[in-house]
Amino acid sequence: MNPLHLRSAGVSLLLAFDSGEAEIVHWGADLGEAIPDLNLLRAPVPHSALDVPVVAGLLPQASSGWLGRPGLRGHRTDDDGAPGFAFSPALRVTAAEASLDGRRARITQSDAEAGLELVSELVLNEGGLLEISHELINRGTGAYHLGELGVVVPVPSAASELLDLTGRWCRENHPQRQQILQGTWVRSGRHGRTGHDSSLLVAAGSVGFSNRSGRIWAVHFGWSGNHEQYLDSLADGRRMLGAAELLGSGEIVLAAGESYRTPTLYAAYSDSGLDGVTDAFYRWFRARRQHVTSHALANYRPRPVVLNTWEAVYFDHRLEPLIELADAAADLGVERFVLDDGWFRGRRDDHAGLGDWYVDETMWPDGLAPLIEAVTSRGMEFGLWVEPEMVNLDSDVAREHPEWISRPSAASPKDGGRLPREWRHQHVLDLANPEAWQYVYDRLDALLRENDIAYLKWDQNRDLAEQGHAGRPSVHEQTLAAYRLFDALKAAHPRVEIESCSSGGGRVDLGILQRTDRVWASDCNDALERQTIQRWTEAVLPPELVGAHVGPTHSHTTGRVHDISFRAITALFGHFGMEWDIRQATAAERETLRRAIALYKQHRDLLHSGVRINADLAEPNLTLHGVVAHDGGEALFAAVALGSLSAEMPGRVGIPGLDPERTYRLAVALPTPEDADFVDSFIQTSPPAWLSEGATATGRFLAEVGLPLPILRPEHAILLHVTAVE
């Protein structure tokens, strides 16, 4: 069988079949059209080893001599129910075909004795992002008990360092880095959701790879439930980077003819550092027809300025203060007003009411209509917070339908079926129960039909520990049921946008983002924390999908105090909004905020379409990041002092990513001398000359020589507007 060669955007994927199974022999830099006889890649056979070369297949198998983590684990039982049979399949290629455009492949491998068939689909997208998924089909006569089906890609020995992300609530997506050593590195997520500590990106790269340099092979697993991500580094020098759904005991049992499809593994290769990986993901996102900035959308509009009420009023839902807040929002130029938690029956705090998705008649005797009319009459969209996957025991629905609450026991509540421990006073509604699923769908559908709601802030505030349905583990079923709920509501209400919020960044992945329109990256609105959270969330997700809000002057989650310019500059590089009682803002703060909102509206097409740039700077407490238009005509950059700098002056800083042959003019856009916090942002007797006068230079000069930055105070920033001089 001839090899298959997929090519796109400077990336090649080469598949060989000489061994009888599918094998990725190259994934990386483009190889050009001419491919030699692949026999030249036949590996040597070492002493004390199998007598033939070991194949590291598209699905690694012990039947090919692979001694690392297997791609497939499972078994059958015999007629007496004894387990362990068909434990080591020998899947071999029966069909392989590529699309005419040379960017798609479909490969079928079978083992008649084991009664298994594997269909693998590979797509190399126009921007160079690779998608891989497998479907396992039970072709036998009895049940097949699936333990794991992984999706992997090979990485070469040139990849010697590993970077992944971790975190916690209010500190999501922080990087950690280590040398790749022999053995298997594993990150497990058992939260029943993606998790605050989940790695949005796992990147294996060459020595010292950075934002703008080095070769990198990186993956993301598009799944919102339990999962494992791993790098398998064998003694023979080969390495596999991959992921798999983490299944509970007996969670997937395939009857004859049934199948299981893996979540998609997304993989990006870059020879230009982490920014090249980011560019591949951004191109993939922005090519989707359903993407929020796609002009193919019937309800396309630029990403609106948001005001969310949570940190402004919490559970204090009185009409008069909320209308005052709407007045203040409209005066500043807000375009979407979102009413957060507290509007439904019995909801005065977080102990009660979840599941009763009816407007509280005692708090809202005329329904939500008076507030919605006040918001929309002021030129803003109305949005509403929901948490439909959860339930409080103190709720009508829990009292009437205790059997709808997920539990590890098969016993009914009347028989003492044990509940998992509470988390924020709530439990999980068992969406694998068709009646519970239908109830939630009907209530949300009614809310959207009866009210002028343009946006749902969809929260999910707890881990799914001991998630069970009918006595069996059910994270897999619950995740798919949640997906179906999103999909059904989207189909019924295509003009309604949905945000995936999960106590902040607890459910951020490409599985949920196939059916939602943005994520809430973190419950932390502290601008200093957000600098790191947003940088690494946006390593994969383009900024138009990442909610970024100006929080209160005094952060509710960290207690830090930051000036308005720093908070506004931080929020500009995302889907901009506010989560703050802006009625309490000073006149000076309102003026700066008004200027920031005007800047966002002026530049949001650039912010939400351009190329992401992260400069490589030696000073760890100084960052320079920005967005450059694809035609090179315009850019926005933020220079940020995360803390005190080691040197007295930051010195000259290169500005990368611009067209080296074009001439640019740079000016400070925020803070400006008109802003009250302009002088307080710097520690200097006099500024660099260009700060007040502007600067004009070629892109090459700006990248190679750079400009002297002003001496920023710790936890301050400046926003630079760069325009090409025609």
Token pair for 308 = 């969310």
How far apart, in whole angstroms, are the C-alpha atoms of residue 195 and residue 126? 30
User: Over the range 14-37, which residues count as b (16 or more CB within 10 Å of their CB) and which as e?
Assistant: bbbbbbebbbbebbbeeeeeeeee
Token pair for 191 = 């939260």
CA distances from 409 to 320, 406, 432 (A): 47, 9, 15
The answer to whether 523 is a known ligand-binding residue is yes
The answer to whether 461 is a known ligand-binding residue is yes
How far apart, in whole angstroms, are the C-alpha atoms of residue 490 and residue 488? 5
- Please tell me whether residue 230 adopts helix, strand or coil conformation: strand
How far apart, in whole angstroms, are the C-alpha atoms of residue 723 and residue 709? 18
The answer to whether 185 is a known ligand-binding residue is no
H or E element: which one contains 269? Answer: strand 264-270
Q: What is the DSSP pairing of strand 455-458 with strand 381-386? A: parallel
The answer to whether 350 is a known ligand-binding residue is no
The answer to whether 457 is a known ligand-binding residue is yes
The answer to whether 349 is a known ligand-binding residue is no
* Choice among 523, 526, 675, 677 that is catalytic: 523
Q: What is the DSSP string of 43-75?
A: PP--SSS-SSPPP--SS--GGGT--SS-SEEEE
Q: What is the DSSP pairing of strand 72-75 with strand 144-155? A: antiparallel
In 3D space, the residue among 412, 418, 389 whose CA is nearest the CA of residue 470 turns out to be 412
Q: Is 523 a catalytic residue?
A: yes
Q: What's the N-to-C CA distance of the chain in angstroms?
A: 55
Burial status of residue 442 (CB atoms within 10 A of its CB: 0-12, 13-18, 19 or more): exposed
Cα-based torsion angle of the residue sequence 372, 376, 380, 385 in order, rounded to the nearest 10 degrees: 20
User: Using a CB cutoff of 8 Å and minimum separation of 24, what contacts does 395-398 make?
Assistant: 395/345, 395/346, 395/352, 395/353, 395/354, 395/355, 395/356, 396/345, 396/346, 396/355, 396/356, 397/355, 397/356, 397/439, 398/355, 398/427
* Choice among 232, 279, 459, 659 that is catalytic: 459
How far apart, in whole angstroms, are the C-alpha atoms of residue 682 and residue 649? 11
Q: Is 459 a catalytic residue?
A: yes
H or E element: which one contains 332? Answer: helix 319-332
Instruction: Name beta bridge partners: 625.
Output: 614, 638
Angle, CA of 501, 504 and 506, to the nearest 5°: 80
Residue spans of beta strands (DSSP E) within 271-354: 306-308, 336-339
CA distances from 578 to 240, 333, 383, 553, 699 (A): 43, 11, 14, 12, 34
The answer to whether 438 is a known ligand-binding residue is no
How far apart, in whole angstroms, are the C-alpha atoms of residue 204 and residue 347? 47
Angle, CA of 641, 645 and 651, to the nearest 5°: 90
Residues 6+ apart with CB under 8 A from 243: 150, 151, 202, 219, 221, 223, 227, 228, 229, 230, 263, 265
Residue with tokens 């193919």: 296
- From the CB of residue 399, how many other CB atoms can be counted at a distance below 10 Å? 11
- H-assigned helices in 544-680: 564-572, 587-607
**DSSP 8-class letter at 434:** H
Q: Binding site for substrate: which residues?
A: 169, 340-341, 424, 457-461, 501, 523
Looking at the annotation, which residues are catalytic? Answer: 459, 523
